[in-house]
């Protein structure tokens, strides 16, 4: 029964981790779309209006360079928001739970596969001694 619980815990942890991963990726896509929207808008209307306003105070080249600097700043800000993404605390914890559960599951399955031939050979009275010895060894190894 323990391997089933461990497998279930590992599956639930992996499901939670994948759910958070998808959520994080969706946010990255949203930030990238916002960055592209600002890029297109800034290159379109912003350039024309800004250039017309700045042209009164600066030369044409200076006005264009000022607009380009503003566009580059917006692009960098939203581009960094889209590129920088780290797993959250819940996602990291779910990954640790999955790793621990699958590791324990592997040990339990290995023990069962190893002891299974002995169970078929030994009489019932020796099985109790074997189980008691196994439980004792397992509990002592945890300390």
The residue ranking higher by pLDDT, 14 or 138, is 14
Given this model, what pLDDT does residue 122 score? 66
pTM: 0.38
Q: How far apart, in whole angstroms, are the C-alpha atoms of residue 11 and residue 94?
A: 10
DSSP string, 64-118: HHHHHHHHHHHHHHHHHHHH-----HHHHHHHHHHHHHHHHHHHHHHHHHHHHHH
114 within some domain: no
Domain annotation covers residue 70: yes
- The phi, psi pair for 84, rounded to 5°, reads -90, 115
Round the average pLDDT of the chain to a whole number and report it: 83
The boundaries of the domain holding residue 43 are 2-105
**115 in a structural domain:** no
How many CB atoms within 10 Å of residue 62? Answer: 12
11, part of any domain: yes
* Total domain count, the chain: 1
Q: Which of 2-11, 103-112, 116-125 has the lowest mean pLDDT?
A: 116-125
Classify residue 119: in a domain, yes or no.
no
Q: Is residue 40 part of a domain?
A: yes
With cut-offs at 50, 70 and 90, classify the pLDDT of residue 31: very high
């Amino acid at each position: 029964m323990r391997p089933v619980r461990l497998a279930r815990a590992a599956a639930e942890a992996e499901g939670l981790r994948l759910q958070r991963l998808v959520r994080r990726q969706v946010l990255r896509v949203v930030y990238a779309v916002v960055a592209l929207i600002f890029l297109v808008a800034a290159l379109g209307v912003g350039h024309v209006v800004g250039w017309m306003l700045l042209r009164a105070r600066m030369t044409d080249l200076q006005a264009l360079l000022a607009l380009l600097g503003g566009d580059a700043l917006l692009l960098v800000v939203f581009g960094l928001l889209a590129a920088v993404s780290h797993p959250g605390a819940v996602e990291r914890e779910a990954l640790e739970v999955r790793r621990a559960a699958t590791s324990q599951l592997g040990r339990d399955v290995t023990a069962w596969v190893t002891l299974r031939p002995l169970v078929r050979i030994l009489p019932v009275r020796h099985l109790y001694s074997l189980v008691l010895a196994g439980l004792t060894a397992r509990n002592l190894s945890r300390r």
